[in-house]
Amino acid sequence: MTDLSILVFVGIILALIAIYAIRLRAVPMPTMTKAAREIIAYIPNDTKAVTDFGSGWGDLALEIARARPDVTVTGIELSPVPYAISRMRGILAAKPNLDFIRADFRTLDRDPGDVVVCFLDPRIMRDVGDVLAERMTDGGIVISRGFAIPGWQAFGEIPMKNGPDRLYLYRVGHHKAT
């Protein structure tokens, strides 16, 4: 490979990341281990399936799969470069309870399970609320890092110890603001 072809390759990768970040209005910023542990603490003991809406490079989904081998964890990511990396990390981690799907979580016709986690962007939280209200069954838990769902009533709003964000906790069926 010549220097020029390496440069072109890196340029295409960076351009792809940027194009999808603009299109999806969310930058693939990972949740690091300590912050992930704070999120995992709010996943109920009897949980069977967790979905990460916008799983990025796979960090949060991987941490959940490691911490909770009893739970099926699925990361959904549309941006191709972070998705490909998360797939490779999943294969290397060899976690039978972890899977990644390349899709738009807004249109993917799939039951997200009993817990959804997300770390997205305020501009897309209304869409997230609409999808969750349609797809999740009553009693399902939503844990959103950093951003509230407009019009939803959180049962917990917890400042994170690692970083400036808050965790917004919702229970589907009891989420309608009164």
C-beta of 105 vs 168, nearer to ligand SAM: 105
For residue 144, give every residue at least 6 positions away whose Cβ sits within 8 Å of its Cβ, in sequence order, or none.
Answer: 117, 118, 119, 120, 125, 128, 167, 168, 170
The position carrying tokens 């009164």 is: 178
Q: Which of 43, 64, 71, 120 binds ligand SAM (CB under 6 A)?
A: 120
What is the pattern of x (binds ligand SAM, CB under 6 A) and - over residues 71-110?
-----xxxx--x---------------------xxx----
Overall residue count recorded for the chain in this entry: 178
C-beta of 146 vs 178, nearer to ligand SAM: 146
Using the contact rule CB under 6 A, the part of the chain among 20-28, 64-72, 87-95, 134-142 near ligand SAM is 20-28
For residue 59, give every residue at least 6 positions away whose Cβ sits within 8 Å of its Cβ, in sequence order, or none.
Answer: 30, 31, 32, 33, 36
C-beta of 66 vs 106, nearer to ligand SAM: 106
What is the pattern of x (binds ligand SAM, CB under 6 A) and - over residues 28-57?
xxxx--------------------x-xxx-
